Structure formats: structure tokens, C-alpha cells
Amino acid sequence: MENQIPSTEPKKSFGPLIGIIIIIIVLLLGAFYIWGGKLSVSDKSTDGATKSQEVAPVSDSDEISAIENDLTAGGVSEIDFSDAEASLR
């Protein structure tokens, strides 16, 4: 019993593991914050591009003259469809 060395088991430390988890959470929160900012900017830019124009009420008649009058009175020739065409490509 003279040469007995007390056995000391190494204590497991959870400090580094908890630190790494906190760093990962902070990085994820930052990424979501930046990603959300970019989404809100892109939403604002598309809202301005899709402006609706007022169109005169149309008649229920299916006569050719009534349809022509609806087209000329409604200002269909003045509508700019370039944004719609560009989004379809």
C-alpha cells in the first residue's frame, strides 16, 4: 500500500462545447437577419414594379362594336406589358 497512486479520472469539461454551440447560434441568427433584410428589399422592389392602372368598366355585350368601344375606352393600348414579358422569360 505504500506505492498506491490515487486514481484521478479526468473531469469532463462542457465549457468548450457550450461555447461552440453559442457561436453557431449567433452565426445562424446573423445569417437569418441578413437574409430577411435582403428579402424585404426584394419585396419592396417588386411592389413598385407592379402598379395597376385604372380601367373603365366594360359592357356585358358581345357585339363587335361594344367590344371595340370597351377596348378604346379602357385604355388597353396604353398599358405597358414590358415588365410582364420580362418576367415570363
Secondary structure, 3-state, 13-63: CCHHHHHHHHHHHHHHHHHHHHHHHHHHHHHHHHHHHCCCCCCCCCCCCCC
At residue 42, the pLDDT reads: 67
Angle, CA of 48, 53 and 54, to the nearest 5°: 145
Mean pLDDT of 17-37: 93
Q: Which residue has the higher pLDDT, 34 or 5?
A: 34
Residue-wise pLDDT tens digits, 39-89: 777 666 555 555 556 666 777 888 888 877 877 776 656 666 677 767 776
Contact 50, 83 (CB under 8 A): yes
DSSP conformation class of 75: T
Q: Structure pTM?
A: 0.38
Domain ranges of the chain: 16-47, 58-89
At residue 79, the pLDDT reads: 65
